[in-house]
Amino acid sequence: MSEPTKSPNGRPGGKNQPERFQPKVILIWLAIFTVMAVLWYQTDKSGNTNEIPMYDVVVNTEEGLIVSGKIFPNPNGGNDYYDVVGTMKMKDELAPEGFVVVPFRADGKLGDEQYAILQSSGKFQENESNTFLPQLLAGLIPFLLVIGIIYFLFVRQLRMAGRGALSFGKSKAKLLTQNKEKTTFNDVAGCDEAKEEVSEIIDFLKDPKKFQRIGARIPTGILMVGPPGTGKTLLAKAVAGEAEVPFFSISGSDFVEMFVGVGASRVRDMFEQGRKSAPCLIFIDEIDAVGRQRGAGVGGGNDEREQTLNSLLVEMDGFDTTEGVIIMAATNRPDVLDKALLRPGRFDREVVIGLPDLRGREDILKVHAKKIKLSESVDLRNIARATPGFAGADLANLLNEGALMAARKNKNQVEMIDIHDAKDKISFGRERRQLMDEEDQRMTAFHEAGHALIAALLYKTKIKLHKVTIIPRGRALGLTMSTATKDILGQSKSELMDDICMAMGGRIGEEVETGDFSNGAAMDIKQATGIARHMVCHWGMSPLGPISFGDNEEHLFLGREISKTHNLSEETAKRIDEEISNIIQGQFERAKVLVEENREALKKIANALLEYETIEGVHVQEIVDFGEIRTEVISTKTEELKQEETALEEKEEKDKKSEESEELPPAVGGAQAMA
């Protein structure tokens, strides 16, 4: 068998062409299977026949039990040696005719008299011998099978340079070429600064000589840093799409394997593939999986992950940027990366992709809105204004959830109300129609009314009250929802105090109405305590002064040292606890005064919640300012709940009338039953 045609570099089909399963190999194996089938047909065509002695064939012929048959001379047995096949009758009491016709086969010697008996019966036909072909095939088939097995297990595996069964040391990088769906900068929005940072990479990949003429060295690697969902991977694909070069994508976890040395081998193979496909772009997603700081954590270093990292460092250090290969990586944990990985010459440039601002969120919404049928009433700018802190993935999920809600309601278009409902679901959890008795519902109403009252009194600028509900969402029995009116980059001390005061409002609302309080304020207390602790220990917003305490609070296994240095005295720790307690207690008393001064408004808000279940922030503000709700309230109660409440009211009214009729004296003059 001739070898496949090879290119000058030794790879079939030319440079950078993947090894393919050639058509002639398929034809060879089809021929082998065809020959095997013919051999089986020739040698085992009577596999279900009855083997009988040649003497029985003669006896059955004389008794007239033979239906038909064929006689084949068999030279292998010598003279007068024959193979006889055919059908004969066999007794069977269960059969309708008392017998069944079955096939038979026999071989052996036939004398002249016996042969004459078979011939005179008129049931047999004599055929020429055809044993040459089965014998030939029986000798060739095993030989061909052995050759085929050797070819596939050894020759092809060696020629494929480790693919197939020996591929565990090869890179798992996925190659995305221009033949597939192309991603460009038009598909990326909300990160204009990041696109400017990587634009010169595109220029270099398109025209490297422009930079080489003046002696400029393009960055070896670019590290993209940012929260999850901000578009780091998408930006890397867009760079490759704009430059129109091959794009190798691999995850950091793909280098980790159970075999020793596999990770380092895959790193070397990945860079080798990049050199052969130059100019190209190699993208390593979640590089913190393999690039964590060495020698940290339990057990120290010298593990398989560190060997992989060492191989990556060596390859990047000896990488020639004039070859036109750019390394890009993404992570949301740059603090745990090894310092050797971040030095110039490896990852020279760090591109920060943060959360989008108002304009960025609007641009992102426009990109994702192209695939969704939106109503004319949908204002993307208002949605962008109402979603501060949302990443690109969050905004895409928001539109998708709105489309799902509209589809469940059998709408043809997505309306603004669907987007708002989707935002509430994503931010605060899905509504749970959990049955609550009157007492629990009343306690929840006054709890949320306390939060809403203080929010309406204190929040005026950056944050506004959005909605209040006593419908369970997530793990909460009720929610007071506040939204930011703009992107919050920082908070003052007074704003943080307002947050703590608002968190205390729920417990005070319960206490003012019932004289008691429940454990429903557990999360509020936890949130308020966390804010107060940060104010004292990290932000310098206490009489202790602008001093940071507890800066050694590192998590284990995150690439940091285990040991801690205790830089706090017992006296300082005591003062910290006192200041935290003073802040919490002061805001608790402040919230109590506000609720007591506006007790009537508290009751009206709670009664409105009991009636409508959900009210908007504007309704709460109207109660605080005017003492009543002046705008229309859209009830969130379902038709089933309304029907249940109506039936319950009718039943109560009927029972009341029956009780009143029993108290009246019997009617006189009417039709009465007389004994």
Query: Which residues belong to the active site?
Result: 448
Tokens read off for 630 = 């002046």
CB 15 within 8 A of CB 246: no
CB 158 within 8 A of CB 235: no
Element (H, E) at 546: none
Q: In angstroms, rounded to a whole number, what is the distance separating the alpha carbons of residues 233 and 249?
A: 9
Phi-psi region of 161 (alpha: psi -120 to 50; beta: other; left: phi over 0): left
Beta-carbon contacts of residue 111 (< 8 Å; ≥ 6 apart) = 80
∠ CA 283-284-289, nearest 5°, is 175
Q: Can you give the length of the chain in residues?
A: 675
232-243 helix and 192-206 helix, angle to the nearest 10 degrees:
30
Beta-carbon contacts of residue 309 (< 8 Å; ≥ 6 apart) = 290, 291, 292, 294, 338, 341
Helix, strand, coil proportions of the chain in percent (round to 5)? 50, 15, 35
Element (H, E) at 666: none
- E strands, 57-119, in order: 66-73, 81-91, 99-109
Element (H, E) at 173: none
Q: In angstroms, rounded to a whole number, what is the distance separating the alpha carbons of residues 393 and 353?
A: 13
Look-up of token digits 């949320």:
448
The H helix count followed by the E strand count for the chain is 22, 14
Q: In angstroms, rounded to a whole number, what is the distance separating the alpha carbons of residues 249 and 139?
A: 51
- E strands, 332-391, in order: 349-352
Question: Which whole-number Å values give the CA distances from 313 to 221, 243, 347, 470, in the listed order?
Answer: 11, 26, 10, 56
